[in-house]
C-alpha cells in the first residue's frame, strides 16, 4: 500500500464521516420541520388573500371581452406564442450548431438575474427568457381587461404581480445558478445550513414562513441601539415618556414632543449615534421628549382611538408642560402618530386648548381618498378578516402587520432574503434597520378596526361626516396651528401625494411642505452627514401635487436642517438646559425605558 493509497483512504473516511453527520442532521431537521408544520398556527382565510370575487370579476370581464372582440384576444395569444416559440427555435438552433451559448436576449434588465450565467448559459438563459415572456403576457392581459374600476384594477395588478414574483426561477433551487454553484462548492453544506434556517424560522413563527431579516443576537436595545442618554420621567398604561439629557448649555424655551407610530417601536429614530434623529435634535439645543408606546396584549382589546388621544397625546402634553413649566409645546407625529396628532389638534381646537405652538408631520396620511399601494389591503375582504380576528384575540398581532407590509416589497423583504437564507445558507446580516423592522408591535383590537373603518375606508376625517373622538365629530379643516409636513417621494405606505392633499385641507394659515427623496423610513432617517436623497420645497400649496413638484426647488442632502430652521422660529428664547424630570416627576429609569423591550402575552 502506497502513501497515495493511505491519503485516498483517509480522504474517503473523512468524506464518509461528513456525509453520515450531515444525514443525521437532516434527519433531525426533518423531524423538527414536521413538528413545526404540524403545529402551524391558524391564519384566517380572509387574511391570506383577496376575496375570490376579485378574480371572478376579472375572469368574467376577460371572457366577455374575448367573446365581444376575439381578434384582440387572438392577437395577444399569438404574440405570446410567437415570442415563446421563436425563443425555443433560436435556442435549439444554437445547440444544433454545437454552440453552448444563449440566443439573443432582449428581455428587460432585472436585478434578480444579476449572475452572468443568466445571460450566457443556454439553460439558465432559456428559463429566464421564458419567465420574462410569461411576465409580459400576464401584465398585458391584466392591463387590457375592460370593465374594472380603478380600485379593482390596482388590486388585480398587485396580486397578479405577487403570483408572478412567487414563480420567479430564482426562487427554486433547480433554476438558481447562485444556489447551485454554492451547493457544489460547499459539498451541500450551504443547503444544510439553509434547511436549518428554514426550520428555525418556521418554529419561531408558529409554522408560518416569516423570513428572519437580521441577526437578532447582534443587537441589544439600550446597549448598541437606542443609546441616546435620557430618562423615563412618566409612565401610564399606554406609554412611557422619555426626556433626553441636554448636550448644550442652553436650550430653546419651548420643548418638543415626538410621537412615534405605535405600529412599530420608537427607536427607528435612534438606531445608532450616526443616524439618530433623537440625538441630532438634542444636539441642536432642544428639550426633547419622546413617547414610547406600550406593546399591547389582549387586555387592551377595548382601547380605542379616544384612549390614545386622551391618555396618550393629551396626557403627554400636560406632563411636558408641567415638567418644563411652559404654556405651549411643539409636537411631531410620525405616520399613524401624525394622523392621530391631527385628530388631537382638532379636538383641542374644539376645547379652546392652545397648548400646541406648532406641529410637524412625518409621512402622515390624513386624506385617505387615495390610499396608495397599501390600499390593496384596505377592502372589506381583508378588513372583515381583521375584525373577525381581533374579536377573537383582542389584538391585531404584529405577525399580520409585518406580513402585510412585507408583501408590498416582496422581492426585497421575502423572496430575496429567503433565497440567501434557505438556498444559500447565509446567516442574516447584522443590520440595525432590519432588526428594528422585525421587532414589531401588536395593535389593540378596537383601535385597529376604528382606524381601518373610520379613517382608511370611510375617510371621515378629511372628506366625510367627521371622525369621532371623545364624543365629538372632528374635521381635518380644524387643524389650524402652524405646521410643517415631510413626505417621502417613493413612500409605499403613506403616498406623498395623498399626504400633500391632506395638508392642503388643513385649516392652518402657516404651512410648510417638504418632499424628501427615498421612502417611508430612509427618507426620514436621513442625517446631514450622509448627503443622500435630497428634498424639494415649494411655498405654493394651492397647486396640484404634480405641479407642486414640477415647480419646486430641489436641494441636495438632508431636509433635517431645513426643518430645524423652521422649528427654531417656533421655539422661543434660549434658557438654561433642563435636566430630566422635576420634583413631581422623578426619574423612573434610564432611556430607552421598559416598554420598548417588553414582550406582551398573546
Cβ proximity of 177 and 116 under 8 Å: no
Residue with cell 428634498: 535
Cα distance between the two ends of the chain: 67
Cβ proximity of 574 and 251 under 8 Å: yes
Going through 193-274 in order, the beta strands assigned E by DSSP cover 230-235, 239-244, 250-252, 256-259
* Beta pairing, strands 256-259 & 250-252: unpaired
Q: Helix 3-38 and helix 189-204: axis angle, to 10°?
A: 20
Q: Helix 150-166 and helix 52-68: axis angle, to 10°?
A: 100
C-alpha–C-alpha distance, residues 370 and 365, integer Å:
10
Distance of CA 38 to the CA centre of its chain: 30
Which 3 state secondary structure label does DSSP give 485?
strand
Q: DSSP class of residue 250?
A: E
Q: What is the 3-state secondary structure (H, E, C) of 366-421?
A: CCCCCCCHHHHHCCHHHHHHHHHHHHHHCEECHHHHHHHHHHCCHHHHHHHHHHHH
Of the listed 335, 456, 484, 488, which one is catalytic?
335
Show the DSSP H helices in 97-236 as ranges: 117-120, 122-143, 150-166, 177-185, 189-204
The count of other CB atoms within 10 Å of the CB of residue 150 is 8
R_g (Cα) of the chain, nearest Å? 28
Q: DSSP class of residue 495?
A: -
Cβ proximity of 234 and 319 under 8 Å: yes
CA distances from 225 to 218, 241, 586 (A): 10, 18, 25
**Can you give the length of the chain in residues?**
602
For residue 289, give the nearest of 315, 262, 245, 257 by alpha carbon. Answer: 257
Cβ proximity of 591 and 241 under 8 Å: no
Give, in degrees to the nearest 5, the angle at Cα 100 between 97 and 105: 100
Residue with cell 413638484: 549
C-alpha–C-alpha distance, residues 314 and 310, integer Å:
5
C-alpha–C-alpha distance, residues 142 and 196, integer Å:
39
Q: Is 488 among the catalytic positions? A: no
| Burial track 571-587 (b if 16+ CB lie within 10 A, e otherwise) | bbeeeeebebbeeebee
Q: Any idea of the CA torsion for 147, 152, 155, 156, to the nearest 10 degrees? A: -30
Distance of CA 463 to the CA centre of its chain: 26
Catalytic residues: 335
Amino acid at each position: 500500500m502506497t502513501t497515495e493509497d493511505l491519503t485516498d483512504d483517509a480522504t474517503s473516511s473523512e468524506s464518509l464521516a461528513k456525509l453520515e453527520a450531515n444525514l443525521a442532521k437532516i434527519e433531525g431537521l426533518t423531524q423538527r420541520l414536521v413538528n413545526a408544520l404540524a403545529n402551524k398556527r391558524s391564519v384566517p382565510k380572509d387574511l391570506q388573500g383577496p376575496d375570490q370575487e376579485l378574480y371572478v370579476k376579472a375572469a368574467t370581464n376577460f371572457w366577455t371581452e374575448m367573446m365581444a372582440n376575439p381578434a384582440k384576444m387572438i392577437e395577444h395569444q399569438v404574440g405570446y406564442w410567437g415570442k415563446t416559440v421563436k425563443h425555443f427555435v433560436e435556442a435549439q438552433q444554437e445547440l444544433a450548431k454545437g454552440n453552448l451559448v444563449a440566443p439573443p436576449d432582449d428581455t428587460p434588465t432585472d436585478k434578480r438575474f444579476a449572475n452572468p450565467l443568466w445571460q450566457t448559459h443556454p439553460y439558465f438563459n432559456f428559463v429566464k427568457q421564458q419567465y420574462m415572456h410569461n411576465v409580459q403576457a400576464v401584465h398585458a392581459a391584466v392591463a387590457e381587461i375592460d370593465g374594472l374600476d380603478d380600485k379593482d384594477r390596482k388590486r388585480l395588478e398587485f396580486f397578479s404581480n405577487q403570483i408572478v414574483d412567487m414563480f420567479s426561477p430564482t426562487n427554486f433551487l433547480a433554476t438558481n445558478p447562485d444556489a447551485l454553484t454554492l451547493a457544489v462548492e460547499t459539498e451541500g453544506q450551504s443547503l444544510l445550513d439553509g434547511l436549518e434556517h428554514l426550520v428555525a424560522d418556521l418554529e419561531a413563527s408558529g409554522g408560518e414562513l416569516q423570513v428572519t431579516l437580521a441577526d437578532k443576537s447582534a443587537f441589544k436595545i439600550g446597549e448598541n441601539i437606542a443609546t441616546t442618554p435620557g430618562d423615563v420621567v412618566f409612565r401610564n398604561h399606554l406609554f412611557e415618556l422619555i426626556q433626553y439629557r441636554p448636550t448644550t448649555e442652553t436650550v430653546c424655551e419651548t420643548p418638543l414632543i415626538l410621537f412615534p407610530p405605535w405600529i412599530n417601536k420608537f427607536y427607528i429614530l435612534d438606531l445608532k449615534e450616526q443616524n439618530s434623529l433623537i440625538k441630532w435634535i438634542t444636539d441642536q439645543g432642544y428639550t426633547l421628549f419622546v413617547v414610547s408606546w406600550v406593546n399591547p396584549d389582549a387586555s387592551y382589546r377595548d382601547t380605542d382611538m379616544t384612549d390614545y388621544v386622551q391618555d396618550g397625546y393629551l396626557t403627554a402634553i400636560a406632563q411636558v408642560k408641567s415638567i418644563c413649566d411652559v404654556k405651549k409645546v411643539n409636537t411631531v407625529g410620525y405616520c399613524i402618530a401624525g394622523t392621530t396628532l391631527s385628530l388631537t389638534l382638532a379636538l383641542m381646537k374644539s376645547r379652546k386648548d392652545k397648548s400646541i405652538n406648532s406641529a410637524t408631520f412625518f409621512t402622515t396620511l390624513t386624506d385617505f381618498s387615495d390610499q396608495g399601494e397599501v390600499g390593496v389591503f384596505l377592502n372589506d375582504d381583508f378588513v372583515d378578516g381583521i375584525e373577525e380576528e381581533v374579536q377573537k384575540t383582542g389584538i391585531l398581532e404584529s405577525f399580520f402587520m409585518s406580513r402585510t407590509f412585507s408583501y408590498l416589497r416582496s422581492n426585497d423583504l421575502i423572496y430575496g432574503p429567503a433565497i440567501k437564507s434557505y438556498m444559500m445558507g447565509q446567516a442574516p446580516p447584522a443590520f440595525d434597520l432590519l432588526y428594528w423592522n422585525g421587532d414589531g408591535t401588536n395593535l389593540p383590537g378596537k383601535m385597529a378596526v376604528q382606524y381601518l373603518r373610520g379613517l382608511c375606508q370611510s375617510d371621515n376625517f378629511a372628506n366625510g361626516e367627521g371622525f369621532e373622538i371623545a364624543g365629538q365629530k372632528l374635521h381635518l379643516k380644524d387643524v389650524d396651528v402652524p405646521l410643517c409636513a415631510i413626505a417621502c417621494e417613493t413612500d409605499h405606505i403613506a403616498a406623498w401625494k395623498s399626504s400633500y392633499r391632506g395638508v392642503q385641507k388643513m385649516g392652518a394659515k402657516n404651512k410648510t411642505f417638504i418632499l424628501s427623496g427615498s421612502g417611508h423610513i430612509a427618507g426620514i432617517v436621513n442625517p446631514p452627514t450622509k448627503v443622500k436623497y435630497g428634498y424639494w420645497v415649494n411655498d405654493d400649496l394651492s397647486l396640484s401635487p404634480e405641479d407642486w413638484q414640477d415647480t419646486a426647488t430641489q436641494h441636495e442632502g438632508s431636509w433635517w436642517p431645513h426643518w430645524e430652521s423652521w422649528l427654531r422660529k417656533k421655539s422661543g428664547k434660549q434658557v438654561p438646559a433642563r435636566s430630566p424630570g422635576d420634583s413631581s416627576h422623578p426619574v423612573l429609569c434610564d432611556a430607552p425605558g421598559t416598554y420598548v423591550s417588553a414582550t406582551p402575552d398573546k
